[in-house]
Amino acid sequence: MILGLYPGCSLKGSSREYTESVLAVSEACGIELIEIEDWNCCGATAAHNLNKELSVALPARILSLAEKQGMKEIVVPCAACYSRLTVTKNELANHPELRETVTKENNLDYKGTVEVLNIIQMIDKYVTPDLGGRIVKPFDHKVACYYGCLLVRPYEILKFDREEDPMSMDEMMLKAGAIPIDWAFKTECCGAGLSVSRTGSVGRLSGLIMKDAADRGAEAIIVACPMCHSNLDMRRGAINSYLDEKIDIPVLYATQVIGLALGLDRKQLGLQRHFVAVNI
């Protein structure tokens, strides 16, 4: 099985353990991921906040490169990139005049033929069917599956999972031997792009998320987004000072949990890179 991969910027830098775990799990399950050659940044929040056309043109170049490189499906592990690429596909499909401007001005060949998969969809489609027999170390812990915003919203465009109480990651964790808990902050925002410019807001929003997970007995929080991860993990100082208590529940990427259940090496999954030590 060969799939295209759009890692995005975070996965090459501050969230490289996400890439490491995605690649390790894929390799263990016989999936070859080929990075889109010469990809650019999707523009993230900054682009759509300041300039609509830019926020469509940057992802359009990525999708057009993937088409040119013969890819039918691409995996986009970052929830924010997944959102930008999917929204762009949707905008270009529904607004011919925008598509005309963006493709003509930037000399892009764009047909809209590439399927964009988030990490949960990729695992559900290509990993889970054979997962049962491969589990050697069930991840026997209570986990709070945290979906965040951009993996599930807006449903009108993403058409992926329920917006208020999504279950896809919970079901995946069950298959990895974990015990997903019922909690109230599955899709509340962590503060996302305000991490640097308003760290206090992030401390509050991520603090409320951590607190609920802790109160309900979670031993780990499971994420599928580098921004959610860095806010809940790297910003734990801001969280703890907002809550005025010390919470040391680790935050793991869904792919790290699958990797552990598959018996892969902790270092290969990048667990040593987290700020909050993973002692489970």
Partner 1 sequence: MSAETHHTSLNGLGNEVLEHTGVKINHCYQCGKCSAGCPLSEEMEYPPSFVMRMLQTENPVLEEKVLRSFTIWVCLTCEMCYSRCPMSIDIPKMMDFLREKSLTEGKTNPRAKKIIAFHKSFLDSIKYTGRLYEIGLLVDYKARTFKLLQDMVLAPKMLARGKLNIFPEIIKGRSAVASIFNKSAKRNT
CB atoms within 10 A of CB 153: 19
What minimum distance in Å lies between the beta carbon of 14 and partner 1?
5
Residue number, 164 or 244, with CB nearest to partner 1: 164
What minimum distance in Å lies between the beta carbon of 234 and partner 1?
7
What minimum distance in Å lies between the beta carbon of 179 and partner 1?
27
What minimum distance in Å lies between the beta carbon of 2 and partner 1?
22
CB atoms within 10 A of CB 224: 27
Is 187 in contact with 152 (CB distance < 8 Å)? yes
In whole angstroms, give the CA distance from residue 109 to residue 94: 17
What minimum distance in Å lies between the beta carbon of 12 and partner 1?
6
Where does this chain bind partner 1 (CB under 8 A)? 9-10, 12-16, 38-41, 43-55, 57-58, 61, 105-107, 149-150, 153-156, 163-164, 187-189, 191-194, 196-199, 201, 205, 234, 272-275
Residue number, 121 or 195, with CB nearest to partner 1: 195
Residue number, 1 or 272, with CB nearest to partner 1: 272
Residue number, 54 or 247, with CB nearest to partner 1: 54
Residue number, 202 or 261, with CB nearest to partner 1: 202
Residue number, 153 or 175, with CB nearest to partner 1: 153
What minimum distance in Å lies between the beta carbon of 168 and partner 1?
16
Residue number, 27 or 105, with CB nearest to partner 1: 105
Strand pairing of 179-180 and 115-117?
A: unpaired
Residue number, 175 or 235, with CB nearest to partner 1: 235
Contacts 24+ apart (CB under 8 A), 115-118: 115/72, 115/73, 115/74, 116/63, 116/73, 116/74, 116/76, 116/82, 116/85, 116/86, 116/89, 117/3, 117/73, 117/74, 117/75, 117/76, 118/75, 118/76, 118/77, 118/79, 118/82, 118/151, 118/160, 118/224
What minimum distance in Å lies between the beta carbon of 253 and partner 1?
14
What minimum distance in Å lies between the beta carbon of 10 and partner 1?
8
